[in-house]
Amino acid sequence: MKGTPLELPEVGWLDAARLAAGLDRHQRLDLAAHARVHPPLPAPGRDALLTLAEAVGLPGRGGAGFPFARKARATLTASDRTGAPPVIVINGAEGEPASAKDKMLLARTPHLVLDGACLAAAAFGAEEIVIGVAAGSPGEISVPAALAERELPCPARTVCLPERFASGESGALVRGINGLPVVPAPLKARAADGGAGGVRRRPTLLCNAETWAQLAIAARLGPDAYAAVGTAAEPGTTLLTVNRPGAVPLVVEVPTGTRLGPVLAACGLQPGAGVLVGGYHGAWLHPSVAVDAPLSRAGLTALGGALGAGAIVVLPHDTCPLGELARVTAWLATESTGQCGPCRHGLPDAAEALALLAAGAAEPAVLESARRALGAAQGGGACSHPDGTARFVLTALDVFSADVAAHLSGPGCGRPVRGVLPLPPAKGARLEVDWSRCAGHGLCAVLAPGLVRLGPHGYPAAPAVPVSRWQEHGARRAVNQCPALALRLRRPGG
């Protein structure tokens, strides 16, 4: 690790630090520093560890919040039934552009994450520990270095996955570990059950990096001390990623139930025009609601929000909300894997409608059609991507309803799109039309129906959404077979 440059996310905390303990004195906790900061780790047996997890009500700290104890019991039931030892998986493949909490843990305090995974591996007789990290992320260097420093209860390995939004979905992660394409499984299957849903057909206990770190904290503190902060229903702390305009994200540890207003103030922010909580599968809150919003799953759900992965973005008053929304929705549409109807049709249709709305060129019927498409997408996908995207868009249309009305009745709000909502550099190609050549044959709409729509006069409407990976074959066919040679697939920088 010496001399190796790492991108280390900034960290802060309100009240006492638990997961962030020691990071005021160390950039990264190697094993020696970790041992000085954290007391020795106990070694509970199978029943004791399950009892501890149930006593603290530990939820998964990814997007879904599924209780750790229920997931562990399901895995152990499958292991007992089949006689196959379980596999422990750490999900550190954080593909959410607005979130950096798992990157922070794996980069700066990897041994705390490994502590939790090793506790479960020893108590449950695991065959292997697998850590999934995003290729090019700090975890790609930090995690193998941490593994080399410590004794392990079973073999462990790191798997690098492409840095995509879908890579963090549990089914996609398991497929990637198994050497398959990193896309959600076409049929939903629990990793705990093994078979097609597990690592190498083994019952698999898969949790994200923060969940494993929280388990290690709970084991050291015990249920009563762990519950000394937080709410009665959701004890302990939670990690948030607060995105600040013009600055790197700040990962903040706060007691569960803390009000959002003080967190924003501590980070030098105001609620602005609206606050996104939960990242790009989360929900928007109106400023009047956001200040007193409790940062807990139950508290945000009661307000129509979602804690999700804990990513927070404030939208300032000097950017166009609908332009920001259109940028992210187009990116989310291209990040889908195109395996089911909601992603193949609903998300691109919504992205097209929002692009028109942001440009002040949408009719009310277009917007209502997008609302219907997103409503129909919820609950019908192979994974949660269409559900999360629909929540992100529909709550934004409600919070920014005045801007929606301004864009429907005239040229728009008059504000520029400043690109406040974080996105990775553009990679997707765009399908362009050379209007000097196009003769309106309409063949392109037949060859690439999900990309090209014909206007009222039979000419293609130039798509506003980048071409997804799963759409590239159709796009190339349309380009190659256009009788007038009027189509071109242009990549960023091309």
pLDDT of residue 446: 87
Per-residue pLDDT band for 2 (boundaries 50, 70, 90) equals very low
3 state SS of 28: coil
Q: Residue 378 has what DSSP assignment?
A: T
Q: Give residue limits of the domains in the chain.
A: 10-224, 231-315, 321-409, 430-490
242/366: higher pLDDT: 242
Q: Which of 163-167, 168-172, 327-331 has the highest mean pLDDT?
A: 327-331
Q: Are 275 and 285 in contact (CB under 8 A)?
A: yes
Q: Do strands 204-208 and 156-161 pair parallel, antiparallel, or not at all (unpaired)?
A: unpaired
Q: Are 159 and 255 in contact (CB under 8 A)?
A: no
pLDDT of residue 187: 66
64/158: higher pLDDT: 158
| pLDDT > 80? residue 8 | no
Per-residue pLDDT band for 152 (boundaries 50, 70, 90) equals very high
Summarised one tens digit per residue, pLDDT across range 226-285 is 999 999 999 999 999 999 888 888 999 999 999 999 999 999 999 999 999 999 999 999
Closest to 208 measured CA to CA, from 352, 101, 52, 343: 101
Does domain 430-490 bear CATH number 3.40.50.300? no
| pLDDT > 60? residue 489 | yes
| pLDDT > 80? residue 322 | yes
| pLDDT > 60? residue 5 | no
> Span 328-335, mean pLDDT?
87
Cite the beta strand spans of 270-315 per DSSP E: 274-277, 283-285, 311-315
CATH topology of domain 231-315: Ubiquitin-like (UB roll) (3.10.20)
| pLDDT > 50? residue 480 | yes
Summarised one tens digit per residue, pLDDT across range 16-35 is 899 999 999 999 999 999 99
Per-residue pLDDT band for 3 (boundaries 50, 70, 90) equals very low
Identical fold at 10-224 and 231-315?
no
pLDDT of residue 343: 67
Mapping DSSP onto H, E and C, the string for 437-470 reads CCCCCCHHHHHCCCCCEECCCCCEECCCCCCCHH
pTM for the whole structure: 0.89
CA distance 135 to 133: 6
> Span 449-461, mean pLDDT?
78
| pLDDT > 70? residue 339 | no
Provide CB contacts within 8 A for 438, sequence distance 6+: 459, 460, 484, 486
Q: Which of 44-53, 87-96, 111-120, 311-320 has the lowest mean pLDDT?
A: 87-96
Compute CA distances 394 → 235, 282, 283, 298, whole Å: 31, 11, 8, 20
474/114: higher pLDDT: 114
CA distance 349 to 329: 10
Provide CB contacts within 8 A for 238, sequence distance 6+: 61, 210, 253, 254, 255, 256, 295, 296, 307, 310
Average pLDDT score, the chain? 88
CATH of 10-224, one of 2.60.120.10, 3.30.230.10, 3.30.70.360, 3.40.50.11540: 3.40.50.11540
Summarised one tens digit per residue, pLDDT across range 242-251 is 998 888 889 9
Q: What percent of the chain has pLDDT over 70?
A: 93
CA distance 131 to 107: 13
pLDDT of residue 379: 66
Does domain 321-409 bear CATH number 1.20.1440.230? yes
Q: What percent of the chain has pLDDT over 90?
A: 54
